Amino acid sequence: MALRTKNPNRQKTEAIESIKNDVKASSAFIFTEYRGLKVEQITELRKKLRENACTYKVVRNNFARIAFEDADIKDVDSWLTGPTALAMIAEDANLAAKTLFEYAKDAPALIIKGAVVDGEIYDAKQIEAFSKLPGKKDLIAMFMSTVNATTSKFVRTLQAIVDKGGAQGAAPAEAKAEAPASEEKAAEQPAESAPEAAPEA
């Protein structure tokens, strides 16, 4: 496939291939504008995102456009304007979104434009709402907590049944033991004589 850049050279080709590889390795992308951020701020943000399996990369818009076209990811051209940096996410997009919006509170120069998550397009408001939902790790923790609580309650209920049965278990046995003795006594008692027949008139 021919490159769609003016005067392509080795450096440009490598840059485009690098973005293509990042796109292929990622399940989600968050598009940001970093105009006004200091170098140390970008470095700090990269470090925070890296902790959540996310790469934060400053890209050339036309190079990124080629990479996304090759991956058949559409409707992102409007976000590829101005100074663009991509958060490329391999695992939980929710955590990366949380990190970006939290960082933007103290660094308003960071602008979140939109995102692609599992092939779906989200605008800035939608991705902000998405960032407020529990992440995968949070959901797993909530699920395990519920399972553990249910299991503990079930075990306690079983134990209560066992304890209750152990205290009353002797009573049925004693009742069964008494039953044959009662039957024997009943057998020993003579049957009542039948009433005499009335004399004929």
Domains of the chain, residue spans: 10-133, 134-173
Fold of 10-133: Alpha-Beta Plaits (3.30.70)
pLDDT of 161: 74
Dihedral sign for Cα 55, 9, 65, 69, please.
Answer: negative
Please state the pTM of the whole predicted model.
0.64
Helix (H, G, I), strand (E, B) or coil at 144: helix
pLDDT of 120: 92
pLDDT of 139: 42
For the record, the structure tokens of 135 come out as: 């992440």
Q: What is the spatial distance between Cα 30 and Cα 190, in angstroms, rounded to a whole number?
A: 99
pLDDT of 185: 55
pLDDT of 140: 42
pLDDT of 159: 72
Q: How far is CA 75 from CA 28, 62, 72, 197, in A?
A: 14, 14, 10, 112
Q: What is the spatial distance between Cα 137 and Cα 142, in angstroms, rounded to a whole number?
A: 9
Q: Which parts of the chain have pLDDT scores under 70?
A: 1-8, 135-155, 158, 165-201
State the DSSP code for 92: -
For the record, the structure tokens of 104 come out as: 């933007």
Q: What is the spatial distance between Cα 140 and Cα 130, in angstroms, rounded to a whole number?
A: 17
User: pLDDT tens for residues 163-179?
Assistant: 776 555 545 555 555 55
